[in-house]
Amino acid sequence: MRILFLGDIVGRPGRKLVRERIAGLRAELGADLVFANGENASAGLGLSAKNARELLNAGIDALTSGNHIWKFKDVWNLLDTDSRLLRPHNYPAGPGTGVRIIRADGLPPVALINLLGRTFMPPVDCPFRAVDRILDELDPEIRIRVVDFHAEATSEKQAMGFHLDGRVSAVLGTHTHVPTADACVLEHGTAYITDLGMCGPQRSCLGMKPDIIVKRFLDGLPARFEVASEPGILQGAIFDIEESSGQVKTITPVTTV
């Protein structure tokens, strides 16, 4: 099985790029499933129900999220009713779940898991303990297991990779919007990358207008972020999984404009 996982989708430019490119990219790369983090898809911060449906209807097989998932309350009901939408599982409470079994015709089931880091992030339950409980309860026949770890600190992401090596198929970092150059298959067959990057405006600071961000660094005053303009860039990674074992054979970063 071959899975393409896209980094954080940022604002209208990111959604537009995904809508326009997803079908062709799936065919070009031979991806059986396409996942993405929709954390910043609505005006660069959060995910509305309308935009979640837009992305799912465009061809994304499932959407993960992160610390901004609660911003638009109309998505709360969707978290309970649409099995293709996840929120971090280690939030103490709230609608939805961070574990979904994705079933597609002709393919083995895939356990998609969404976790939130704790370093420089909102207070949540321990993601390491949470994922241990998930794996203890998961049907052992579901061998393909993909984790989106939405976290700030590279050390926390790397630690999660080693913690889950050999127990899941992939640990993929999101949240920081800058693709890292450390895509690899760990010792026991788990694909790992610290950050997938983003799908959003190319000339930007993490998807936002650069002049606003620069000014904030210069004067230290609060400012409202605004999503930058097109052209967009699409980033993520694609990995090949041995279906019988759930181990990954290769992982390759993906960048396209």
- Active site residues per annotation: 68
Which of 48, 54, 6 has the alpha carbon at shortest distance from 26? 6
Distances (CA, A) of 176 to 20, 44, 84, 131: 24, 13, 23, 21
- In the DSSP assignment, the letter for residue 154 is H
Asked, as a colleague might, if the bond just before 231 is cis with ω within 30 of 0, I would say: yes
Q: How far is CA 87 from the centre of its chain?
A: 10
Alpha-carbon distance of 250 to 80, in angstroms, equals 34
Alpha-carbon distance of 72 to 122, in angstroms, equals 17
Contact 30, 53 (CB under 8 A): no
Residue 252 in tokens = 């390759």
Alpha-carbon distance of 105 to 92, in angstroms, equals 34
Residue 176 in tokens = 């920081």
Alpha-carbon distance of 14 to 11, in angstroms, equals 5
SS3 158: helix
At 64, which helix (H) or strand (E)? Answer: strand 62-64
At 90, which helix (H) or strand (E)? Answer: none
